[in-house]
Structure 1
Amino acid sequence: MRSGRHGLQGRIEAGGFSLVELMVTVAVLAILSAVAVPSMTGLINANRLSSASSELVAAVQFARSEAVRRNVRVKLCGTADGATCTKAAAWSGWLVVDESGAKPEVLRALVAPESLQINGPADGVVFRPSGLLSAASSLTVCMPTTNPSSNQRVININISGSARSSSKDGKGQCA
């Protein structure tokens, strides 16, 4: 004869975790988190650098194509306010500007995140109506951190207007 689910013995088997098992699980999770968080930070920083340098390369390509399409000189320049070109080597963002008219026409504008530092020519990069430059130029996107170790992206623009991006280890510094 049986009495309920547990039989005649009256023994009930406990289901669940003991306090020791729970503490071991929490300790393992804490160790895994301590290892994963720095890697995640490096991944996020690398993604921010890559994204900003890709946007800057796209702006170079856009400026070149607009110079050819409009048959005018088009400038890629640094900006501090998102509306006018600055005459500084440190850029807070960039503009693509058609300067052929009486008033410069902003074709595209982007303000960079504050965590990034961008350096380029103080006079900007000017594309001729042929899409060519008068001299090769370079732009640098940098994040002052050692995580990732390659904290700089250098965009080299040759005379033909073609842009290439490469990584550089700035040892945590932005030049």
Structure 2
Amino acid sequence: MNASANNLPEKLRMTSSGFTLIEMMVTIVVLAIIVSIAAPSMSNQLANQRVKSTTATLANALKEAKAESIIRRQNVTLSYNNTSNPRVITITSSDTSVIANYSYTAQNTIRPLLSTTTVIFEPSKRVTEVRTFTICDNNLNATSRQIVVNKVAKITSQTGGTCT
């Protein structure tokens, strides 16, 4: 039994030849519409993830600075720089030697509630002043987050804050 295309009637051979150009164009248009609907949502999710990552980095740096001040029995300072490339969070001891550096994404900025960009941890498990930081993204649709360091150096993270 030979079932090759040569033995089929001409009408059947012509109808089973594949996709037409019109079918391919319709498929591409449908895919383009789906991608254009999904793209803004994806960019917002990526921006939110960057904010969460920078928040976690800052919280970890604050916790390390607090621990180092207790271990070293001296004041330890945490500072950050939103203008450097890469953006860096630096922990320094009282003799200004660098203990650690943390980098964070250039699309994010850390904004202090007050104008200072430093936190000084004391070995008595306290900070010199209460600090609130807001982490913002270049994408203004991203949800901003805040980190609060209270007087007894408790570090908390929450959503909120203004980025405008």
**TM-score, normalising length: structure 2:** 0.82
Which shows bigger deviation, 134-143 or 73-82?
73-82
1:93 Cα offset (Å): 3.1
Structure with the bigger percentage of helix: 2
Is this contact kept in 1: 2:44–2:139, CA < 8 A?
no
Is this contact kept in 2: 1:41–1:147, CA < 8 A?
no
Q: Which residue of 1 aligns with 2:136?
A: 142
Is this contact kept in 2: 1:131–1:160, CA < 8 A?
yes
Structure with the bigger percentage of strand: 2
Q: 1:8 to 1:26 in 2, by over 3 A?
A: closer
Q: Is residue 43 of structure 1 aligned with residue 45 of structure 2? A: yes
Q: 1:164 to 1:139 in 2, by over 3 A?
A: same
Name the amino acid aligned to 2:40. P
CA shift digits 1:120-163 (9 cap, x unpaired): 35261111112222332111211243322x2x221111122121
Q: CA RMSD in A?
A: 2.4
Which shows bigger deviation, 32-41 or 157-166?
157-166
**Whole-angstrom CA distance in 2 between matches of 1:9 and 1:78:** 78
For the residue of structure 1 that corresponds to 2:141, the secondary structure is: coil
Name the amino acid aligned to 1:141. I
Aligned length: 157
Q: Which residue of 2 aligns with 1:62?
A: 64
Which structure 2 residues correspond to residues 156-175 of structure 1 after superposition, within 5 A? 156-168=148-160, 170=162, 173-174=163-164
Q: Which residue of 1 aligns with 2:108?
A: 116
**Whole-angstrom CA distance in 1 between matches of 2:79 and 2:31:** 48
Name the amino acid aligned to 2:129. A
Is this contact kept in 2: 1:153–1:165, CA < 8 A?
yes
Q: Is residue 97 of structure 1 aligned with residue 89 of structure 2? A: no
Name the amino acid aligned to 2:119. V
For the residue of structure 2 that corresponds to 1:16, the secondary structure is: coil
Q: 1:20 aligns with which of 18, 22, 27?
A: 22
Q: Is residue 5 of structure 1 aligned with residue 4 of structure 2? A: yes
Q: 2:124 aligns with which of 117, 130, 150?
A: 130
Q: Structure 1 unaligned segments of length 5 or more: list them.
A: 83-91
CA shift digits 1:97-119 (9 cap, x unpaired): 111x3xx1111123443322222
For the residue of structure 2 that corresponds to 1:109, the secondary structure is: strand
Is this contact kept in 1: 2:110–2:135, CA < 8 A?
yes
Q: 1:130 to 1:169 in 2, by over 3 A?
A: closer
Q: Percent identity?
A: 24
